[in-house]
Amino acid sequence: MKLTNNIIPYLNDEKFSEGLYITVAKSQKNIPDRISYVCDYSRGKKIIHVGCLDHEQLIQKKIDADTWLHKKIDEVAAKQVGIDINRPALAFVKEKTIYQNVFYEDITSDEPVGSMIQEEQWDAMILGEILEHVNDPIQFLKKLKSKYAPFVKEVLISVPNAFALENFRFALSHKENINSDHRFWFTVYTLAKNLTLAGYTNFQYNFVCYEPHEYRRRYLQKLLQTRFPALRSTIMMHTNFDNS
């Protein structure tokens, strides 16, 4: 799905509305899950996986359960390199698993891009559930573009959806359920706004569920998320570095 051209002036601050209505989705029978979506996108491509690790204590469990995203991408990509700033998790993966294509790299630093990235031209960079953890998403995205644009064509970003059905369920119980490290909730518009102000254009997006069990075990939830895709838990946003 794409944002219509009449939305662009609002994204780049040429126009203002205090009550802008945007059609973001229509009924879709297919409900992809996040891992399947990313793997389909990555198939046969050369991928840079940003934030490729996880909490150290969860990595082996996810590998055993066949749900660790880095492993799943590795199975389908033509080539993959993972970068992260979590040194303990990096050491664990290097020492305890077969996945040696992971490296320390801080996107926000002024250090040059690592040689393992400079030696290739990459099809895509994947940022899975990263932006909601950073203090300044716009500056982060600007830095990402300035450092990696010479080496990468496209970017695929996933973030938790502010309008996820589960969030409404908790709100009805007067509660909020959230990862305590999150700084932001995103919608399609606010994610596109951040990207636009950081210098990106040409957005395409989709709504997916974080895991298949979200819709396979609950008939009513599956019905609602089929009829109203914007109630799914995760936003997948495609953009590019060269703005072509």
pLDDT tens digits, 51-96 = 999 888 889 999 998 999 999 999 999 999 999 999 999 999 999 9
pLDDT tens for 137-175 read 999 999 999 999 999 999 999 999 999 999 998 999 999
Token pair, residue 218, equals: 């609950």
pLDDT band at 244 (very low <50, low <70, confident <90, very high): very low
pLDDT on residue 46: 98
pLDDT band at 31 (very low <50, low <70, confident <90, very high): confident
Q: pLDDT at residue 228 above 50?
A: yes
Work out the mean pLDDT of the chain and round it to a whole number: 92
* C-beta of residue 213 within 8 angstroms of C-beta of residue 241: no
pLDDT on residue 123: 97
Q: pLDDT at residue 215 above 70?
A: no
Q: pLDDT at residue 203 above 70?
A: yes
pLDDT tens for 87-128 read 999 999 999 999 999 999 999 999 999 999 999 999 999 999
pLDDT band at 29 (very low <50, low <70, confident <90, very high): confident
Q: pLDDT at residue 218 above 70?
A: yes
pLDDT on residue 213: 64
On the 0-12 / 13-18 / 19+ scale of CB atoms within 10 A, 157 is buried
pLDDT on residue 242: 72
Q: Which amino acid is at 44?
A: G
